[in-house]
Each structure stands twice: as structure tokens, then as C-alpha cells.
A and B are shown apart, each in its own frame.
Chain A
Amino acid sequence: RKEVEQDPGPFNVPEGATVAFNCTYSNSASQSFFWYRQDCRKEPKLLMSVYSSGNEDGRFTAQLNRASQYISLLIRDSKLSDSATYLCVASGGSYIPTFGRGTSLIVHP
């Protein structure tokens, strides 16, 4: 079983839609969680950290459920520019990060 699992998608949604991704992690010792965005042939860029209390940044909301060991990312009012691959990351006590394989989002007009 992979340590961090994501549905690869693609999620194909119209502009303005709300879309949600989940990511499960198997290492219960994981302490830090992040969502990264990766555009084609580019390096990943931090989208947001995921805190126990949840985290909201504009149209993006991230949540952590430690009991069920998953994190989620909600994107409201999708834009064409949101099209990308979204990677979830879990880091343990030694901060060695483990990436999910990414979820592909395609926002169409």
C-alpha cells in the first residue's frame, strides 16, 4: 500500500464549479501536511499548508482528519487557471516528505 494515496483523476469540471480532492496517508506519525500544485513540466509550488483546524485561502480550503487519516482540498468557483496537478504531501517527524501521485484537474469553459 502506498503511503500517500490520491485519485489521479482527471477531474474534468466547468468553470465556476466546486471540486474536492481527498488524499489518504498511512503513516499515523505524519505531522505536517501540504497541498502543492504542479503545472505541466514545472516544479511543484506550495498551494497551502494543512492545519488541524483547517485552513482557508480565498477559494481554497484544506482540511485534515487525523482520525481517518486523510486531508482534503476544496476549490470553489473554479477558474481555467486552476487546471493543474495537485499533489498532497505528508511529512513525518523527520520531515522526510512523501508525495501522492497527484490529482489532475482540468477546468473547461
Chain B
Amino acid sequence: GAVVSQHPSRVICKSGTSVKIECRSLDFQATTMFWYRQFPKQSLMLMATSNEGSKATYEQGVEKDKFLINHASLTLSTLTVTSAHPEDSSFYICSALGLADNTGELFFGEGSRLTVL
């Protein structure tokens, strides 16, 4: 099946630093990628929808200047958490919708667990 690779899987950083998370579709082209955040014992919350070659669409309440999303190619989207603070500590997961796939099935990255000290 389709594979989405996400890294780093785990990152610990100091407050005020920026962290970049990469999401790659390895064997298919992903025109659309989604970025989710999941706090402990809560559901996946959609942060933004990233479309290749255009600006990301952010969900209400998500600061676009804090969570920078770049989808420069059909196989790579990045999420940069700028000036991270402890409240940004969470599990970030990307998912991709395949170019040739019209069923709406999502392929998930392995997730990135961010801890901000």
C-alpha cells in the first residue's frame, strides 16, 4: 500500500526554538496533505490542509504564522512550529490523499511527538 514517511518521530526542544517536521509520500503523488494535532486522550484535530503549489488552508483557531506549512512538491509537505512553547507539545501527524485515489482514503505518516521544555 501507499507509504507516507514522517520525521522526526520524536523531538525535544527548548522553548522559543523552531521545529520542522517533514512529511513525504514515498510511492505516490499527494496533491493534498493534511496536518493534524492530537493531545493525549483526544481526537485528531485538523490543523490545516496543504495543497501542492498553493497556500495552506488553516482551520479556525490555528495560527498560520506560528504553524508554517509548505507543500512545494507533490511528495513533500513540511510543518514548522515557530517559537515553540510548552503548550505546543503534542503529537503531530500528517496524512496524504493520493493523486489517483478517489476514495478519500488517507495514508498517515508515523507521527511526530514534540516536547517543548
A-to-B contact residues, CB < 8 Å = 31-32, 34, 41-46, 49, 87, 89, 91, 95-102
The size bracket of the interface on B is 20 to 34
Known: A41-B91, A42-B111, A43-B110. A31 touches B104 (CB 8 A): yes
In the bound complex, do residue A43 and residue B111 qualify as a contact, i.e. CB atoms below 8 Å apart?
yes
Interface centre among A49, A97, A100, A101 (most CB of B within 10 A): A97
CB distance from A64 to the nearest CB of B (A): 13
Interface residues of B (CB under 8 A from A): 6, 32, 34, 36, 42-44, 46, 49, 91, 93, 95, 97, 103-106, 108-111, 113
Task: Indicate if the CB atoms of A96 and B111 lie closer than 8 Å.
Answer: no
The docked-state distance in angstroms from the alpha carbon of A31 to that of B6 is 28
